[in-house]
Structure 1
């Protein structure tokens, strides 16, 4: 697991740590020691995450992407105290199956969320015929949306529409569809930080017994063409409207 983790990418300029598709069940201890104190954006998409207690070591974390990890409500019950720094939580394509339980857990753990996405979970109905959504639940998207917005007072964005419209009719939701853009969490992060992504990225170092957990600085610079992530491993949130940017 540690060998795979070393293949990740840390971007010092934007405070981003990319550990997508590493077959991880948790963030390795040596990675936490070296990057937990300086990472603000963490992408763990397409892993096998089943342990989440490491999250408190990332005390500056603002963006967490956990797409396609088969996570469910029970995994988040492991966490016992709020993480107030987190602003963006992307949980697309997981296994959350009970709407009210999910909302109660996430709202208590992440009270300051501004962006939340739950595409492709069993709790998320098909509101605008935008895939992936679940078709096998009894309630409509408007009910799902209302339950979530009533629990997250600071939410600006939910799935594919602006959360600032606290009460939105089906016809208004249909109009939102016309404004949907293809968008990635990295672009959202750049917007939040007020800068474009850096053209240099730092690979994670090779760990050995001489390391003392002080690797938040530059290790080795690679050009964009050498190491920037361009694949589809991080689904992120692809449905953000113009008004949300």
Structure 2
């Protein structure tokens, strides 16, 4: 396992390096520059806040192709009835804070540290990160955020305070940008996103799509 130098922004090439279960490096820092460089190379941080920083690029990769989006009959009805309304980048800080604080089944605590959260907020100010907000009766009830690299959207985290809020927001986002995005990176498997059409693809395929977008 490779330890990163905090004074040098670099990573092992994930195309040629397979770490344990997709973990390719540890250490370094959570600077805006390093995080942005990592995502441009298909790498993301995932660790417990009181532990050392871990960097991942799993194989296979869990992604969603916009034209493969699945919408259940019940979700179609919810969207048709306009139970929720949606905005983009209206309150990035509130979305990421809710993602940090929301209680998740089977999880004790959060991987989203204050330092990492501040770096994403800065990336949002630079225009690299975006949020989708889901509202009900003028109350923020769900949403998600991520980084966009060309035609690749790297989803980071989502939250929901009421049933179906985050799912509705995700569907709205995919339908809105289906002609502008080639792929949505979901990173690791969840049943929630699998039900919406996300699936595993080889790491090599994902990195090729990502790098083709970086070169444009």
Normalised TM-score (structure 1):
0.31
Larger radius of gyration: 1
Higher strand share: 2
The structure that is helix-richer by fraction is 2
